[in-house]
Structure 1
Amino acid sequence: MAGNNATALKSNNEDVEIGEIDMNRYFNNAPSTIFSDIVVRKNPDFFDTQSHSTNQVSDYNPLSDGASTSSFFNADVLQASTASLLDTVVDRVEHSALSDTHRDTWIPSEHTRKILRSIATSAAGASHLERENLTMPGLAVQGDMPDLIKNASIHFLGEDENIHRNVRTASDVTQDERGLRNLIQAGCYRAAVNLSGRLLSIYAQGYGKINQPSKHTPHSLQLWYTRLSLLAKLRQMDVLESESKPFGNLDKPDMYFTFYPELYGTRPGSMASFAFRLLLAEIPSYYGKPKQALDNLYKLLATVNRIIANFQAGFNGEGTHAKISESDQRDALKLWTARKSRILISVINCAISMRNYILAIEILENLCNLPDWTAEQIGILRSAIGRVHLFLGDVSAAEKFFVRSNKEEKTTSIRELVDSGLMAVAQNAFQEAYSYFQSASAMDPSNVMLINNMAVCLLYTGQLRTAVWLFESVVNRNPLKSLQEPILLNMCTSYELHTTHCKQPKLHLLRQLNRYKGDAMDIQCLKLAM
């Protein structure tokens, strides 16, 4: 029930090693090192639908004009089985045995290249850089982020309720990346932000250190990547903007290995991961500047295209005539082509947030024309195009893309049932939509998103009591999975519509949050006046 941001679908991969890795999977339960892509967006990623056991739900607004379907198609309403689309492809290639030299490739600006060349040809310690050529990050806030669920529980339910709160803080885990990983896996994102601040202070990049010179390592940059990803996940936009700005586009000389010859010798490449570059490019869209984010993404895309062209020509990624084996060339092209596709996914998300649906459709169609997609992936891409057409209100165009990919198959996939449900919603046929979502839910009973879709359809058809019962049943059946902001916001709005005595059921939800969830939830979804 958030605003009409028309973005959707999100990805979850996992990490494996320091380097080019994905922290998304932190938000699954996969093991790995701390550093991996948290794919973060103010709204879920258009391509990050979890397939069957998704832990995301739709952002619907049952209070909006029933004649308008745009509010219905918010956030994860576009979910199908897209999690496997690009994210598993990119993840698999990212964690291949490709040489770090090719994985860390980046093309510096000419200004930065000259400085790095000067450092390489100077005597150790002889070069001195002006401050404007240094990256000087630091924490923008002092002290720890509070546990808002704990505070609200004490406020509304009394001190005694606090004995049921069993949530880790930054001090309850090891003060290293293992502790950070444990906090993230437990859903304690605020505590993880607090711990990241402590760890960054070791690098002289703590509070008050913005615009103060300090040394960087791949480890410190991955800590920053993790912290900024968490801040975006928690929607701490002011802090996110302040702390991300010192990094610029990660092109200052001290972002490259050759800036530190005493540590890395002549090792080429960027210390900052590609995932960090992508995150920084997207961040302006989180605080209301999608056009700036779009410009950033296209600049990123231009560099990646140059790197791909260099590998295709038999050079290394930077374009020098270093010898590269055929197998390395093939693997490098796979990696950077996958990264290019990931940038295009971000461009689509950004275009949709700007309501530039024509651009989104154009890029999706171009993606469809790329080789090596499986039939299932092509079906998912076409489904995504159809859903963007629904944003445009073009039901007939959408229907062409929702045609079943294999008509000989007797069974219908969950994605196809969801597509049919969305088509019904677009035509205000909410009872029919309910039937499609119900069929999909029968195939995947653990999919919370489908239950939410069904409940919202019931709200639109005036079956308020049944909708409330359905919301409550899914939360009571699996509180750990079902207690999510969009579900809770929809539930609390339903309570307000259902009865004037809605405070007690809201307090019951707060009690469940206090007992089952970490510290990441925004309690405003309960609509309780403090």
Structure 2
Amino acid sequence: MENNEHSRKETSDVSSDHTLGRYFENTTPTVFDEIVSSHRVDHSSTSVINDPISNRALDLDLTSKFLKNDHMLEIERPSDLTVPDYHRDAWIPSESTRKILLSIATSPPGTSLPNRENHTMPGLTLQGDILDATKEASIHFYGEEEHMHRNILTASDVTQDERGLRNLIQAECYRAAVNLSGRLLAIYGQGFGKIDHPSKHTPHSLQLWYTRLALLTKLKQIDVLKTEAQAFGNLDKPDMYFSFHPELYGTRHGSMASFSFRLLLAEIPSFCGNPRESLDNLYALLSTVNQILRNLEEGLSEEGGTSNCSAIERQDSMTLWSRRKSKILISIVNCALLGKNFVLAIEVLEDICKCPDWQNEQLEAFKLALARLHLFLGDIPAPEGKLVTKEAPVHTPTTKEWINRGLMAVTQNAFQEAYDCFQTALNADPANVMIVNNMAVCLLYTGKLRAAVQLLENAVTKNPIKNLQESIILNMSTLYELHTTHCRQSKLQLLKQMNRYKGDAIDIQCLKLV
């Protein structure tokens, strides 16, 4: 059954409380980089057991992130906020873009205007709002009376600004947040029908686009995502740089688009079914970041020019860009898995593990990811030493170690033993729904279908706000189909709970009603 992965927060691109991406918080894998989380996540809570009904007893969910984006893998830290803007905004433009920017900088104001093809001209492809699918389904099956129990925010219920957008995201009303982002982008002349129309860009407008595209990715709105992202290319056109707008930013240099936005755009083709293109994009990013690091090592600025910064400031910048390099490598691993290029994924993971800058918890998480990848490929001896700690008899296994023992037992079809391991882990972490999820899989494989259904139902009833997750709903719907020919009523009961307790982010198709 599907992985439960937790978000991590990249703080280096957050210059103030007004940046939007940092307000995402998800219980499933994301592409968001600037994320705020209300609690520290225990890496041990994540499982890799997927839906057994689809002929997969053990899987790495190759449709999403494999490496976890939680605080344990936080690449950039709050201390990076002390790095000045010109280090964090730095980027090396292409030669053609560099020449245009140089021409603007050395010409009288208003006399050096680039051609139309050198402008970035995005716009919305959706004229109206994205509908709340849960609301529409509940009205269809239960009527308007049930809709009265739905109490969630819409784009019109919040302030029409960045604060309102944050409130929608925090309430997991992602469709409403997309709708509001469209209204805000229309203010910049980038609304519906404005693709290929020139408009002004600012760091704020680009952050709005980053947020919107991240939301569309989360919602799997692939057609809209692909079309709207296409206008940005690789963010290299001259108007994506501060020096293109000297009347607004003076002599400020660097990219108006955040590093997180660049990484998201590089990954988007993988979400649209083309992981190979994403790999090409990511390696292009990696090449630029490597050049930035070489420039810093040689005493130059990030772009390769003369630098007057102190040794301490230079070291801080190198640390920042080294962490960004690691983020790209993590994305390469995930895209390689999507493309089933397991050799590349293992090679990059091994290189990541060799980096000397990781904290012990981070390095342990990477090694665990590598071990689970070997496990997925059927190479059981390779990960055994990493997943199961062999200590002295007095050693008391941690929750994570019990989960790992359960995973090892699953690979050997010892489902009762795996169940017992997961049960022990659950006793130590009773709120962890993904451990319950794994236990349900084991019950199914030991022929206890009714018990598997009841286990998941009890978890949802106990805490519907937290435990009504897409992966859980999908698995429950699948188990209902196996359990009874009258499964539709049980699925509709799940719909009623979704209508009353969840925002608009869940994909209604996980109920498998059609």
Residues of 2 paired with 1:350 and 1:80: CA distance? Answer: 11
Equivalent position amino acid for 2:78 in 1: R
Once the two structures are overlaid, the 10-residue window that deviates more, 369-378 or 162-171, is: 369-378
Residues of 2 paired with 1:28 and 1:393: CA distance? Answer: 30
Secondary structure at the residue paired with 1:27? coil
Describe the shift of the 1:322–1:280 C-alpha distance in structure 2 as closer, same or farther (beyond 3 A): same
Q: How does 1:74-89 map to 2 (within 5 A)?
A: 74=61, 83-87=70-74, 89=75
Q: Does residue 202 of the first structure (1) align with residue 190 of the second (2)?
A: no
Describe the shift of the 1:59–1:253 C-alpha distance in structure 2 as closer, same or farther (beyond 3 A): farther
Describe the shift of the 1:343–1:230 C-alpha distance in structure 2 as closer, same or farther (beyond 3 A): same
Which residue matches 1:419? 404
Preserved contact between residue 89 and residue 256 of structure 2 (Cα < 8 Å): yes
Secondary structure at the residue paired with 1:269? coil
Preserved contact between residue 417 and residue 440 of structure 1 (Cα < 8 Å): yes
Preserved contact between residue 87 and residue 317 of structure 2 (Cα < 8 Å): yes
Q: What do residues 46-78 of structure 1 show as CA deviations (whole Å, max 9, x unaligned)?
A: xxx952696x8767222234xx534x4436999
Once the two structures are overlaid, the 10-residue window that deviates more, 472-481 or 118-127, is: 118-127
- State the number of aligned residues: 505
Pick one of 26, 32, 42 that aligns with 1:38: 32
Q: What's the offset of the Cα at 1:409?
A: 7.6
Residues of 2 paired with 1:290 and 1:80: CA distance? Answer: 16
Secondary structure at the residue paired with 1:190? helix
Which residue matches 2:52? 62
Secondary structure at the residue paired with 1:352? helix
Q: What's the offset of the Cα at 1:9?
A: 4.4
Residues of 2 paired with 1:13 and 1:290: CA distance? Answer: 24
Residues of 1 paired with 2:439 and 2:490: CA distance? Answer: 21
Pick one of 39, 42, 51 that aligns with 1:51: 42
Which residue matches 1:300? 285
Residues of 2 paired with 1:157 and 1:426: CA distance? Answer: 43
Residues of 1 paired with 2:269 and 2:65: CA distance? Answer: 23
Q: What do residues 406-450 of structure 1 show as CA deviations (whole Å, max 9, x unaligned)?
A: 769823223222222221111111111112222221111111111
Q: Does residue 271 of the first structure (1) align with residue 256 of the second (2)?
A: yes
Which residue matches 1:358? 343
Preserved contact between residue 496 and residue 502 of structure 1 (Cα < 8 Å): yes
Which residue matches 1:339? 324
Q: What's the offset of the Cα at 1:506?
A: 1.2
Which residue matches 2:24? 26
Describe the shift of the 1:322–1:408 C-alpha distance in structure 2 as closer, same or farther (beyond 3 A): farther
Q: What's the offset of the Cα at 1:79?
A: 8.3
Which residue matches 2:9? 13
Secondary structure at the residue paired with 1:85? helix
Q: What do residues 162-191 of structure 1 show as CA deviations (whole Å, max 9, x unaligned)?
A: 111101110110000000000000010000
Q: What do residues 103-136 of structure 1 show as CA deviations (whole Å, max 9, x unaligned)?
A: 0000001100000000011111112221111100
Preserved contact between residue 59 and residue 77 of structure 1 (Cα < 8 Å): no
Residues of 1 paired with 2:431 and 2:52: CA distance? Answer: 23
Equivalent position amino acid for 1:23 in 2: G
Describe the shift of the 1:73–1:111 C-alpha distance in structure 2 as closer, same or farther (beyond 3 A): closer
Equivalent position amino acid for 1:27 in 2: E
Describe the shift of the 1:76–1:131 C-alpha distance in structure 2 as closer, same or farther (beyond 3 A): closer
Residues of 2 paired with 1:25 and 1:507: CA distance? Answer: 32
Q: What's the offset of the Cα at 1:39?
A: 4.6
Preserved contact between residue 93 and residue 338 of structure 1 (Cα < 8 Å): no
Describe the shift of the 1:210–1:82 C-alpha distance in structure 2 as closer, same or farther (beyond 3 A): closer
Residues of 2 paired with 1:114 and 1:257: CA distance? Answer: 14
Pick one of 292, 312, 317 that aligns with 1:327: 312
Pick one of 461, 473, 476 that aligns with 1:488: 473
Pick one of 132, 147, 150 that aligns with 1:165: 150
Which residue matches 1:465? 450
Equivalent position amino acid for 1:63 in 2: I
Q: What's the offset of the Cα at 1:13?
A: 1.8
Which residue matches 2:92? 107
Structure 1, unpaired ranges of 5+: 30-35, 41-48
Preserved contact between residue 19 and residue 273 of structure 1 (Cα < 8 Å): no
Preserved contact between residue 203 and residue 214 of structure 1 (Cα < 8 Å): yes
Residues of 2 paired with 1:197 and 1:78: CA distance? Answer: 27
Q: What's the offset of the Cα at 1:92?
A: 3.1
Which residue matches 2:37? none
Q: What's the offset of the Cα at 1:90?
A: 1.6
Residues of 1 paired with 2:141 and 2:49: CA distance? Answer: 26
Preserved contact between residue 57 and residue 76 of structure 1 (Cα < 8 Å): no
Which residue matches 1:517? 502
Pick one of 421, 429, 432 that aligns with 2:414: 429
Equivalent position amino acid for 2:221 in 1: Q
Q: What do residues 338-369 of structure 1 show as CA deviations (whole Å, max 9, x unaligned)?
A: 00000000000011111111211111111111
Equivalent position amino acid for 2:50 in 1: Y
Residues of 1 paired with 2:95 and 2:390: CA distance? Answer: 48
Q: What's the offset of the Cα at 1:311?
A: 1.1
RMSD between aligned residues: 2.6
Residues of 2 paired with 1:400 and 1:109: CA distance? Answer: 46
**Same amino acid, percent of matched pairs:** 57
Instruction: Tell me the TM-score normalized by structure 2.
Output: 0.92
Q: What's the offset of the Cα at 1:288?
A: 0.4
Equivalent position amino acid for 1:69 in 2: A
Describe the shift of the 1:9–1:361 C-alpha distance in structure 2 as closer, same or farther (beyond 3 A): farther
Which residue matches 1:389? 374
Preserved contact between residue 7 and residue 25 of structure 2 (Cα < 8 Å): no
Preserved contact between residue 417 and residue 437 of structure 1 (Cα < 8 Å): yes
Once the two structures are overlaid, the 10-residue window that deviates more, 477-486 or 12-21, is: 12-21
Residues of 1 paired with 2:365 and 2:451: CA distance? Answer: 32
Which residue matches 2:131? 146
Q: How does 1:443-454 map to 2 (within 5 A)?
A: 443-454=428-439
Preserved contact between residue 229 and residue 265 of structure 2 (Cα < 8 Å): yes
Equivalent position amino acid for 1:51 in 2: D
Residues of 2 paired with 1:76 and 1:293: CA distance? Answer: 14
Secondary structure at the residue paired with 1:495? helix
Describe the shift of the 1:152–1:444 C-alpha distance in structure 2 as closer, same or farther (beyond 3 A): same
Preserved contact between residue 12 and residue 28 of structure 1 (Cα < 8 Å): no
Structure 2, unpaired ranges of 5+: 35-39
Which residue matches 2:463? 478
Preserved contact between residue 9 and residue 75 of structure 1 (Cα < 8 Å): no
Secondary structure at the residue paired with 1:251? coil
Residues of 2 paired with 1:302 and 1:501: CA distance? Answer: 56
Q: What's the offset of the Cα at 1:392?
A: 1.4
Secondary structure at the residue paired with 2:103? helix
